[in-house]
Amino acid sequence: MKTVFIDRDGTMGGSYYVEYPDEYYPYEGTREAFKILNDNGFRPIVFTNQSCIARGKDKGYDFATEFKEIGAKDWFICPHDDIDNCNCRKPKTGLLEQAKAKYGLNMKECYVIGDRWSDMASGGRMGCKLILVLTGRGEESLGKDRDKWSEFSPAFVAKDLKEAAEWLCREEQNER
């Protein structure tokens, strides 16, 4: 089963700014994107930095319910603050390494969909195929932040998560 790692804030929903959980809203087409991926044999997994947990701003928010309801098969959350110097906060690869160990993944067969340079760098360092979405900070990632992940190239740049999911399904069909 092909695995697709999907960032939350700026990719699945929210605004330009990092959202506190109770202020988050999914973008139009996000639910449909997860349905497309699930219906076409992909395993969509959310991977997200949520420093609001370390800062006590999450107010006990139930991320698991959110991710289950939208169609994610699993999720990996970094609960640490920027200053914690953990191994799991993107652009580090700890979240992807956890998923690799849990599912026995060949990361070269996996995809990462995200809007930030940190999503692209994390996925690129693990050998994943990269899809940048232009929602959230996607434009910024292609512009002023491009040097932060310049050693990697996206396989596709999509206007949003739904277009990324549709492209991914077409791409996989072409490879068969």
The reply to whether 62 belongs to the active site is: no
Tens digit of each residue's pLDDT (9 = 90 or more) over 122-162: 999 999 999 999 999 999 999 999 999 999 999 999 999 99
Tens digit of each residue's pLDDT (9 = 90 or more) over 116-126: 999 999 999 99
d(CA 32, CA 15): 19
Nearest residue to 66 via CA among 11, 26, 107: 26
**Domain 2-175: CATH class, spelled out:** alpha beta
Widest CA span in the chain:
47
The reply to whether 7 belongs to the active site is: yes
Q: Which of 7, 115, 119, 160 is catalytic?
A: 7
pTM: 0.96
**Are 129 and 112 spatial neighbours (Cβ–Cβ below 8 Å)?**
yes
What backbone torsions phi and psi does residue 127 show, to the nearest 5 degrees? 85, 10
Task: Classify the phi-psi angles of 10: left when phi > 0, otherwise alpha if psi is within -120 to 50, otherwise beta.
Answer: left
Residues in Cβ contact with 167 at an 8 Å cutoff, skipping those fewer than 6 apart: 131, 156, 158
Q: What's the pLDDT score for residue 135? A: 96
**Are 70 and 31 spatial neighbours (Cβ–Cβ below 8 Å)?**
yes
Kind plus residue range of the DSSP H or E element containing 158:
strand 156-158
Q: Which two tokens stand for residue 154?
A: 């996206």
Task: Average the pLDDT over 77-98 and give the result.
Answer: 96
Percent over 70 (pLDDT), the chain: 97
